[in-house]
Amino acid sequence: MSIQSTNDRVQAPDLAANDDAPKLNKRQLAKAATREKLLHTARVLWAPAGSYAPVTIRDIAAAAGMSTGSIFANWSGKEDLWRDAMGYEPPVDCEAVRAALKAQAAQARWAA
């Protein structure tokens, strides 16, 4: 029986046998878990219609049991988090948009 030297040992592959994704270390797994928790929390808080503006970064972080820093470690701001969580651009709510929507609604009534 011979003892293999460390140079002769087969290195474990970077990829799991049946998985295309690289294995993550503990820190990377923790960061991914934090990100998923924040995304889930944001989706829950933003689910009701009209909830984008009143729900703040602080609200999302507090509901997830985390600091606002955990959000800014993953996203540049509220709009960026919305894009990842909801999959489309954040709603724009300002006087100009409201006026345009009212005008559009009035035109639709006259056309009908």
Does 10 reside within a domain?
no
How far apart are alpha carbons 42 and 37 in whole angstroms? 9
How far apart are alpha carbons 112 and 108 in whole angstroms? 6
Residue 93's pLDDT is 65
Render 69-88 in DSSP notation, one character per residue.
HHHHTT-SSHHHHHHHHHSS
Residue 94's pLDDT is 61
| pTM of the shown model | 0.63
Does 37 reside within a domain?
yes
Model pLDDT for residues 90-102, shown as the tens digit of each residue = 887 666 666 776 7
Q: Which residue segment(s) compose the domain that 49 sits in?
A: 26-111
pLDDT interval class at 28 (50, 70, 90)? confident
Domain total in the chain? 1
Model pLDDT for residues 56-65, shown as the tens digit of each residue = 999 999 999 9
Residue 13's pLDDT is 39
Does 80 reside within a domain?
yes
